Every structure is written in C-alpha cells, then in structure tokens.
Structure 1
Amino acid sequence: MAVAAWSERVLKLVLRLNNLHRGGCLPFCVQGQRVGWVLQPVAQLLSQNYDVFTLQRDPSARLELNDHLHHPQERTRAIQEVMESLRGQDIFPCLREWRDELYDVKGLFSDPPLLSMERAAVPLLGVPRYGVHVNGFLHRGAETFMWVARRSLTKPTYPGMLDHLAAGGISSGYGVWETLLKECTEEACIPESLAATAKPAGTVSYAYEQDDGLYLECQFVFDLELPESFQPTVGDGEVQEFYLWPLDKVRSAIATEEFKPNCALVVLDFLMRKGHIQPDTEKFYTKFMENLHGPL
C-alpha cells in the first residue's frame, strides 16, 4: 500500500473514532458530579422514568440521577430496571448487545464506584468504558514481530476480525492488573508469571457517536515482550487463531477493514512509540497523536 494511501486511510479511521461533539449532549450527573454525557433525545426519553432520572434546566441543562437513590446498590438496581425495559422495547441498537456484564460508573477511574450498569447500556449515558489491551511482541535480531489474534466467527461484535494478543473490558469489581492477567490467561493461555512481566505503556482514549450511543473509551495499554519459545494458544474460544507478523505487515493491516477499529488505534500507538512511524516522514503524525490521547 502506498504511503499516502496508508496515511489517508488511517487518519480516516482515527477521526471516525473521535467524532463526538459534546455541544449536542447534556451532562449526566450523579450526586452533582458529571459522570457521562447523553444525547438530548435520549435524555428526554429517560426522564420519563421520573422516579429514576430528572431533566434539569436551571442553572444549566443536565440529566440527573434522582437524589433519593442514596446507595450504589439502589442506583444500580434502578438503572438496570430502566435499561431492561428499553431493551424489551428494542428502541436502542446498543442494547441488542446485552452481555449480563456490569461496568462501574465513577468520576475518576480511581474513585469508588457510584453505581454499576450493564455494559451494553453504558453508551446511552455516555459513561467512560475502560479496558486493557496487550501488545505481544518479540525481537528477531533487528526486526520486531507482533502477535495478532483473529476473533472467533461466533463473537457478537466484530467477528472474524484481527485483534490484540489479549484484550478485554474492565468489569465491575476488577482492577487493571487483575483484568490483564485474566484476559491473558483466558484468551491466549499465557501463564500468569509471563503475563506479569507486561510493562504499562499509558492509555489510548477516544470518543465517538454511533446510532443513539456515545462511546467514550479508555484503554490501558501494556507491552508484553514474549520469548521466541512461547506460542499462544486458543483459550476461551473468543479467538480462533494467532499470527506472528513483522511490524511492516501489522502496519499495513491496520489501514484495512480487517482490523478491529479500536485495536488498530492501540497498534498505531505502539508503532509510534517504538519509532516505526516517524514524525519527519508521516504527514499526519501530530493528528494521530492528538486523537489517540483525547480527553473523556
């Protein structure tokens, strides 16, 4: 693929995952603290559940969770009931991906949770979703290779597409390292002693609107250098195959429709950090950087 064509395609992907304009959104607040964003039509609909949500106009427009819901368990139960009702009405496409998996809702990631909610429903309230992505790589002489996974054809989202060696969302009650070790073991059968050598490499964050959902996502990124003797194997069935590719091939792949979009962003970040993409030769270098580390 020509350099210019690659750059244009990757920039298009980066901007597609950073298309959220908050001007058309209302803050979603719990106990006076903004924890998410809601599209105005969604806020209007949710506020019909007046015992759970209130649409405030003064001093500024916002959707609030009612103050009479004092405890995290009460809030979790109340929102779950609303979302289950909406799911039954098939109003929002995102609720068709119901997982029976809870994500915590917090001000900052390090804060105690204010409540937990179904993973598929999180985009309706524009609450940040956190995950862990592992760049598995090794060196052969002067050349670097990366392990790439192909997702199972039975996955409900992005079936058959290229993915990381291991990755997953941080479910309610889990921490970053706990999730990393779990995903490495379950998806690629990486022993805990080896997975624990992964090095934290910052975060990749992005925010986009799709259908009636707002997707604000932050991925904790880890680099895991693996020995030549290690071969990942399929664990829980979420992956169907693993490939060991040179970075040039991985670089080409992220510009295609074959790579899971958010994984492509994390790989792009890896390629830039490792000097495989240089600021003197990549015309969109600063655009890539700006959009890989945007605010949530």
Structure 2
Amino acid sequence: MLNPIHQFLLRITLSRFTEHLSKHNDVFSIVKNKNGKEKIGQHLKFNPSLKSYEARREAVAHVIKCLGNLIPGIQNELYPVTLAFGVPPFFSLERAAAPYFGIKAYGVHMNGYVEIDGEKFLWVAKRSEDKPTFPGMLDHIVAGGLPHGISCKKNIIKECEEEAGIPASISTKHTTQPWAVSYIDIEGYRYKRDALFCYDLKLPPDFVPKNEEIFDYIEEDQTDNDTNFFLCYN
C-alpha cells in the first residue's frame, strides 16, 4: 500500500489545471478518477522518489516557477500541506499556488470594534486596488494567511501590528477565543478551500488604525452610493 503522501495531495485539483502539469512527470503522476462513464476529476500522486519534506517542497517550487504567469501574485510565503490542521506537514508550497493545487489553506481574520455610548462600531478596511486578490474590496481590520511554522495566536498578534498598528499590549489582552469559518470557491484554475480562524477584538474608543500596509480605514458614516466606505454598527 502506498504511503498517504503519494495519494492525498491533489484529489480535487481541477482537471483543466492538471493539464499544465503533464510534463512534470518526474514530480507528479496524474490519476484520472471515474464514476461510471463520467470523469469526475483528477488527482496527482507524488513520484515515490521524493521521499523527504525538502525534496517535495523543492520539486513543487520548481513546478510553480515553470508555470510562470499561470499562477499570479507570488508572495514568497510558504503554506504547510497537511492531512489535517495541526499535524506535521508533508511539505510546503507557495501561498499563491495553494488553491491551484486544491490545498486547504488556513488564515486568521479579526473584527476590531469600539463601544461608544452603548453602541458597537466596527472598523472596516478597504483593500488596495493593487492587490492581486479582491482588489478594492472591503475587509476586516486585520486579516492574513497562516504561514508555515507559526501559531494562530502569534500570527494574529503579528498581523495586528503589521496591518493596523495595534500593539501587542492590546491584542494579547482583549482578543477573544477564535471561531472558524470554512468555504470553497471555484474560479478558473483555482479550487480554493479555506478555513479562517476569526477573532473579535474590543479596541479603545479613541483608537485609530495606522495605515501600515494597504488599507483605508473608515471613520465616518458614508451614504453616497459611489463610495466604498461605510461604518457598520449594531
């Protein structure tokens, strides 16, 4: 019986994407799944010669490089590939490539809110128009992927400082325990399977996020239909 790593990697990778991998048979073999007469998809198996974590990581990295612009938005950030959350990874791959290979990815998101006169107001961010994913769309005050080698708690504290200027003295004391949201999105060559660990953080009433990266923060109610900004409140 084959080791699980030779079976599980790309069970739900879209067949229109695996067509671009056929020449990389030194890394993968393509297995066609059948349900009666109808093909329902394809998956890939690693070449058995790739026995170590590093060998698999390097081989997949080379394939991604060869694919060029087929996978846009390369971030040089590694995502772990596992059978389940929290178990040791079999290898890691470029974050932007995860949905193309059908890899389940994880992220951390945070709702940052303030209480004013008994009402809760939610800080909302607007993504940069230059972002490769969801440009110009509204977002949480803090959001980021969960890269290899860092816990959810440490990652959300890091993202708080980097994306919104929220100091650890606030995020470590007032962040709630996370809850999880999972979703699937199929578009083009991508089969995106994400699980997000979501946190709530009560901020001081006078706190104003610092635009450390690519967000515009919403401070006032906006009613103009042409604007992308609004203030969310209970």
Could you tell me whether the CA contact under 8 Å between 2:56 and 2:91 is conserved in 1?
Answer: yes
Structure 1 unaligned spans of 5+? 1-28, 260-266, 277-296
SS of 1:125's partner is: coil
Cα distance in 2 for residues equivalent to 1:168 and 1:62: 28
Normalised by the length of structure 1, the TM-score is 0.67
In the alignment, residue 197 of structure 2 is paired with which amino acid? Answer: F
In the alignment, residue 183 of structure 1 is paired with which amino acid? Answer: E
Alignment CA distance shift 1:129-1:36 (3 Å): farther
Normalised by the length of structure 2, the TM-score is 0.83
Question: What's the offset of the Cα at 1:192?
Answer: 0.4
Alignment CA distance shift 1:206-1:258 (3 Å): farther
1:81 aligns with one of 37, 62, 69: 62
SS of 1:131's partner is: strand
In the alignment, residue 219 of structure 1 is paired with which amino acid? Answer: L
2:150 aligns with one of 156, 164, 174: 174
Question: What's the offset of the Cα at 1:113?
Answer: 1.1
Q: How does 1:181-196 map to 2 (within 5 A)?
A: 181-196=157-172
2:17 aligns with one of 10, 21, 42: 42
- Residue matched to 2:196: 219
Cα distance in 1 for residues equivalent to 2:100 and 2:82: 16
SS of 2:45's partner is: strand
Cα distance in 1 for residues equivalent to 2:46 and 2:227: 39
In the alignment, residue 162 of structure 1 is paired with which amino acid? Answer: L
The yes-or-no answer on 1:125 pairing with 2:101 is yes
Cα distance in 1 for residues equivalent to 2:31 and 2:5: 13
In the alignment, residue 88 of structure 2 is paired with which amino acid? Answer: P
Question: What's the offset of the Cα at 1:152?
Answer: 2.9
- Give the count of matched residue pairs: 221
1:233 aligns with one of 189, 197, 210: 210
- Residue matched to 2:39: none
Cα distance in 2 for residues equivalent to 1:165 and 1:228: 15
- Residue matched to 2:43: 62
In the alignment, residue 52 of structure 1 is paired with which amino acid? Answer: V
Could you tell me whether the CA contact under 8 Å between 2:110 and 2:201 is conserved in 1?
Answer: yes
SS of 1:123's partner is: coil
The yes-or-no answer on 1:203 pairing with 2:184 is no
In the alignment, residue 43 of structure 1 is paired with which amino acid? Answer: T
1:101 aligns with one of 74, 77, 85: 77
In the alignment, residue 14 of structure 2 is paired with which amino acid? Answer: L
Could you tell me whether the CA contact under 8 Å between 2:81 and 2:90 is conserved in 1?
Answer: yes
In the alignment, residue 83 of structure 1 is paired with which amino acid? Answer: I
Could you tell me whether the CA contact under 8 Å between 1:149 and 1:242 is conserved in 2?
Answer: yes
Question: What's the offset of the Cα at 1:258?
Answer: 4.7
Alignment CA distance shift 1:53-1:206 (3 Å): same
SS of 2:67's partner is: helix
Cα distance in 1 for residues equivalent to 2:145 and 2:118: 34
